[in-house]
Amino acid sequence: MYLITMFGNLLIILAISSDSHLHTPMYFFLCNLSLVDICFTSTTVPKMLVNIQTQSKVITYEGCITQMYFYTLFVVLDNFILTVMAYDRFVAICHPLHYMVIMNPRLCGLLVLVSWIMIVSLFYGTCLGVYLSSTAPQNTHSSAVASVMYTVVTPMLNPFIYSLRNNDIKRALVRFFAR
């Protein structure tokens, strides 16, 4: 599943980067979503695979803090990119004649930059919330299943959901591999 996630998201990035017809705001945001999904999945899955292989659940304190930082960063960034994509579609549907004026390259870059800046700043607020909240007993098996679904399955399906069903992406991939 990790390889499918990596391969699918890399294909999306390659297709969008290599085809000038796809240099539009929608695909710019989709490319960023694919990049974030690669980073998000890569923060936890490699360590999880090592733990499964070695039958060990050990992680250093520094490794845990680092993993938590990047996990939170990419989760929140993923949500912001999805929000920006929703705004892009809103403008395309509600203001189709002004779409290219409103969603100009400067605004698109600014929206992505703000999304990136907002995980760094919100991370510290969420960390305080986690550390200051009480620890309630949880069912570890259901928590583990939920974590795997969110960290592995969702990023794996995003390329299929958002782009591989898209004819423009399919044509770009065919042109890319035909070179």
pLDDT in tens, 129-138: 555 554 555 5
Q: In this predicted structure, what is the pLDDT of residue 170?
A: 83
- What the chain holds in terms of domains, given with CATH numbers, is 2-178 (1.20.1070.10)
Q: In this predicted structure, what is the pLDDT of residue 157?
A: 75
pLDDT < 70 stretches in the chain? 119-151, 164-165
**Residue of 107, 153, 144 whose CA lies nearest to 8:** 153
> Phi then psi for 56, rounded to 5 degrees?
-125, 145
**Which residues lie closer than 8 Å to 50 by C-beta, 6 or more apart?**
56
pTM: 0.75
